[in-house]
Chain A
């Protein structure tokens, strides 16, 4: 049974079409990424799956349970960690978590056990008894995540969990996600960081303007829609014109990054390019191979760059 099954879901806010017929299937135990720019409809889709919003049409099932028909059963199955931290600032982290546990009617001793586990897992021991309003953004995120994981949901939905985290914290977070997966949980994660989707996710759905434009393993997507690899050559400014002339046969393009040459087989091309340039007296500053990224996939599919639409 799939963990999450979404078929033909539509949702509009007045004139704004947030989801325009979205279908996807998340298998049990996988880490599934939703990659898309701001306003793509990621949050809307996740809130519908978590039973927080009703779709205008279409069907959503979580572990076989229909979200519209049995919203309360679905809420037991899903742990949704929203984009915002949703904490009561004047309460301590522990009080916030105690409150959430009570919302799930969790018995006291079970809460204590679970709190200890999550405190270890998320490294919250230092600030468990401080008011969440006084915690750093990263600390608040950890408390908020703990709140979503308290009731041991089999399906975990994380909406842009790493926004605002520094690279180290982001790596820690990725390890945490791997840990959750090894517990057998299913994870649906939205992000607009393509490296994150690439590194972390088993499969990625690329979503744009309320539509899913591609689904697949990151490697697969890059191979299929990422286009060719690129070799980027940088030379001294005064050698640029000459280098372009020398490399003329390889249809070079001058970009802000340097001279870009597309290649089917960059590993064999690079030594050729270097010796060609050196034989004509131009010594390259650097030569870099860039494989296709999900960014390229997005660009090829939509004609726009992810980064452009992300502020």
Chain B
């Protein structure tokens, strides 16, 4: 084995053999993912809260709402005022995910044989919830129509002669043929689905925060910070703390082989951590995400930014133990700035400004766009470039300071 490969392998073994490291880099973020997606992700049971504004008030409107309520799929909240209802849904009050409006004339239109239209507004948020609620509503309307048709035809059939025999296209048509024929195109209630956008949506990050696929982006960013920055700093600092640097320097391998080994080792550690974190997240949350080759350069840039930042801190610090502890503290702090526990937009002004200059926050932004929006690399140029440039700068500094660090104590 080449010296650099041996150093990489040794670092990976040291990393994955440390219980506390495994806890902080794998168990902890996965526990947070489970906890937070349980709190914010699923809608508890299968009941969705929906606002209802009945502007018709007629008998059939009441029947429609009553049937909808009795399905057990929805928990209807009646509002008298349309604007109030719209506002409540917009802000997501009482977990409202949508607004159903029965327009005036619903009953009259239906009874006079004209079609009636209802409107359903679904709140912008978790796309899966959005989709589920909208299809439940359209599904219900279909079922309602079928039932309505059946009853209407039952009523009308009294007036259709028993021995009907009309000449039709395919031969003579009987009474049964006619009823079946009428059933095929009657669709008395039509539903229009539209979107209500949320007021606080000012950037992609917040919009995607409720999306379970966002956790995949978070897992990558978390690995950049903990497996990357904290891991690299600790592994480098420990060579001095345990004095094993002396053992390496005794051998004829050059310090550049040492640095190469450190970087390759970090990439191995990061990749393995990411496979573990992302695999568990995907298996548990089953988010709908777009796997794109654009992820590869982006994740590598994040890996490099994290690892080289860690190396840099360890090299610049006068005391190796302090370096390891400082990066851990910084890592813990940074978790709150990448949109892991709440959208970055929820941070107060100055902290938000800080989050915005963090390369790891940019990484999450770009990853969200690719994973959740299906964008290609060309559409995430700004955050991706920011991340890559940071990676290049950190790496250059880490390389420049390395000889001094590896030299005499």
Contact with B along A82-118 (1 / 0, CB 8 A): 1010111111000100111011110010000000000
Interface: A80 (CB within 8 A): yes
What residues of chain A lie closer than 8 Å to B10, measured between beta carbons?
Answer: 88, 91, 95, 99
- Total number of A residues with any Cβ neighbor in B under 8 Å: 30
Interface set, chain B 241-278, CB cutoff 8 A to A: 242-244, 246-254
**Contact B17–A90 (Cβ < 8 Å):** yes
The chain B residue sitting closest to A104, CB to CB, is: B251
Interface: B35 (CB within 8 A): no
For residue A104, give the distance in angstroms from its CB to the closest CB of chain B: 6
Contact with A along B329-342 (1 / 0, CB 8 A): 00000000000000
Interface: A212 (CB within 8 A): no
What residues of chain A lie closer than 8 Å to B5, measured between beta carbons?
Answer: 102
Q: A53-B408, A91-B13 are in contact. Are A86 and B6 (CB under 8 A)?
A: no
Interface: A265 (CB within 8 A): no
- Total number of B residues with any Cβ neighbor in A under 8 Å: 25
**Contact A72–B408 (Cβ < 8 Å):** no
Contact with A along B221-252 (1 / 0, CB 8 A): 00000000000000000000011101111111
What residues of chain B lie closer than 8 Å to A75, measured between beta carbons?
Answer: 250-252
The chain A residue sitting closest to B16, CB to CB, is: A90
Interface: A50 (CB within 8 A): yes
Q: A88-B242, A90-B18, A102-B6 are in contact. Are A54 and B408 (CB under 8 A)?
A: yes
Interface set, chain A 254-308, CB cutoff 8 A to B: none
Measured in the bound complex, the distance between the Cα atoms of B18 and A91 in whole Å is: 11
Interface residue SS majority, chain B? helix
Interface: A215 (CB within 8 A): no
**Contact B6–A52 (Cβ < 8 Å):** no
For residue A244, give the distance in angstroms from its CB to the closest CB of chain B: 54
What residues of chain B lie closer than 8 Å to A72, measured between beta carbons?
Answer: 252, 254
Contact with B along A119-154 (1 / 0, CB 8 A): 000000000000000000000000000011000000
**Contact A52–B246 (Cβ < 8 Å):** yes
Measured in the bound complex, the distance between the Cα atoms of B248 and A82 in whole Å is: 12
**Contact B247–A86 (Cβ < 8 Å):** yes
Measured in the bound complex, the distance between the Cα atoms of B253 and A76 in whole Å is: 10
Measured in the bound complex, the distance between the Cα atoms of B242 and A91 in whole Å is: 13
Q: Which of B1, B17, B253, B254 has the most CB of A within 10 A?
A: B1
For residue A94, give the distance in angstroms from its CB to the closest CB of chain B: 12
**Contact B3–A103 (Cβ < 8 Å):** yes
Measured in the bound complex, the distance between the Cα atoms of B253 and A75 in whole Å is: 9
**Contact B252–A76 (Cβ < 8 Å):** yes
The chain A residue sitting closest to B15, CB to CB, is: A90
Question: Which of A50, A54, A78, A95 has a CB less than 8 Å from the CB of B13?
Answer: A95
Measured in the bound complex, the distance between the Cα atoms of B248 and A100 in whole Å is: 8
For residue A143, give the distance in angstroms from its CB to the closest CB of chain B: 12
Known pairs A78-B250, A90-B13, A103-B3 / 10 extra A-B pairs, C-beta < 8 Å? A72-B254, A73-B252, A84-B246, A87-B244, A99-B9, A99-B10, A103-B252, A105-B2, A108-B1, A148-B250
Interface residues of A (CB under 8 A from B): 50-54, 72-73, 75-76, 78, 80, 82, 84, 86-91, 95, 98-100, 102-105, 108, 147-148
Q: List 18 A-B contacts (CB under 8 A).
A: A51-B250, A54-B408, A72-B252, A72-B254, A82-B246, A86-B243, A86-B246, A86-B247, A90-B13, A90-B14, A91-B14, A95-B13, A102-B2, A102-B6, A105-B3, A105-B253, A108-B1, A147-B247
